[in-house]
Chains A and B, each alone.
Chain A
């Protein structure tokens, strides 16, 4: 199954080496969404893919030690919260919802730059959510939502 630790040295090692670069690339994509294709969503997916790769190669238990499900879920809502929170902050500051121009009084960088920063903040939120969500969906589908030991029992019974 996909959530057991892989036996293949090649895969394991390569993914071990690849994951940090994937992640830095993902973050780059998020941070440079302003200038090049990409943004929170794509970056988030790549981040999520790196987590998925971790699960596939090193097994669920090892991966969970790095990123527990609880943390994952909370990250997932944190991302949306960042997004909606920035929007609500604009609301609080007296503008319309998601009107980043209203952030200027806090940031003191000029309206265009404030909008740019608002976009960045929002993209970060999207990235976090998408990453956590992708990982979480994958985990749930790949394990069937059950702990690996239990899953084995069920499989045994089927056969």
Chain B
């Protein structure tokens, strides 16, 4: 059992991080906190993907010798590049989302002068909007 837990510890880490992020996204009332949670959440997923790519005993997927070598390339000695590629995209998406969300945040602050969800809801109820 312990072996099992230890052998996959990176997955546990990512699950814990994801849960922290998800909890912040749903449970926190402050909007900035929600966004922080969102970032944690997304990077946890990225961690998961990166973990997929790991190959024991392999090195970074950059071939030395300018790639003109005609000798057979040992696949086992290079880490799986595909998850990295995907995650580059995912990181970009996450920063773009954050940017849009922060812009929305400023619009919200301009309107309600607060960033606490419950206060905003109260204001909205009062104004009937």
- A and B touching (Cβ–Cβ under 8 A): yes
B-contacting residues of A (Cβ < 8 Å)? 35-37, 41, 130, 137, 140-141, 144-145, 158
Question: Could you tell me the distance between the alpha carbons of A110 and B99 in the complex, rounded to whole angstroms?
Answer: 41
B89 (CB) vs chain A CBs: closest residue: A41
Nearest CB in chain A: distance from B119 CB, A? 16
In the assembled complex, 15 residue pairs joining A and B whose CB atoms fall closer than 8 Å, in A order, are: A35-B62, A35-B66, A36-B62, A37-B60, A41-B92, A130-B92, A137-B99, A137-B103, A140-B103, A141-B99, A141-B102, A141-B103, A144-B106, A144-B110, A158-B113
Partner of B88, one of A41, A140, A141, A158: A41
Question: Could you tell me the distance between the alpha carbons of A37 and B99 in the complex, rounded to whole angstroms?
Answer: 25
Chain B residues, Cβ within 8 Å of A130: 92
Chain A residues, Cβ within 8 Å of B62: 35-37
Chain A residues, Cβ within 8 Å of B88: 41
Q: Chain B interface: which size bin?
A: 10 to 19
Q: Are B106 and A141 in contact (CB under 8 A)?
A: yes
Question: Could you tell me the distance between the alpha carbons of A144 and B113 in the complex, rounded to whole angstroms?
Answer: 14
Within 8 A of A (CB), among B99-122: 99, 102-103, 106, 110, 113
Known: A41-B88, A137-B99, A141-B106. 16 other contacts (CB 8 A): A35-B62, A35-B66, A36-B62, A37-B60, A37-B62, A41-B92, A130-B92, A137-B103, A140-B103, A141-B99, A141-B102, A141-B103, A144-B106, A144-B110, A145-B106, A158-B113
Nearest CB in chain A: distance from B14 CB, A? 22
Chain B residues, Cβ within 8 Å of A140: 103
Question: Could you tell me the distance between the alpha carbons of A145 and B66 in the complex, rounded to whole angstroms?
Answer: 47
Chain B residues, Cβ within 8 Å of A145: 106
Nearest CB in chain B: distance from A36 CB, A? 7
Chain B residues, Cβ within 8 Å of A36: 62
Chain A residues, Cβ within 8 Å of B113: 158
Question: Could you tell me the distance between the alpha carbons of A145 and B106 in the complex, rounded to whole angstroms?
Answer: 10
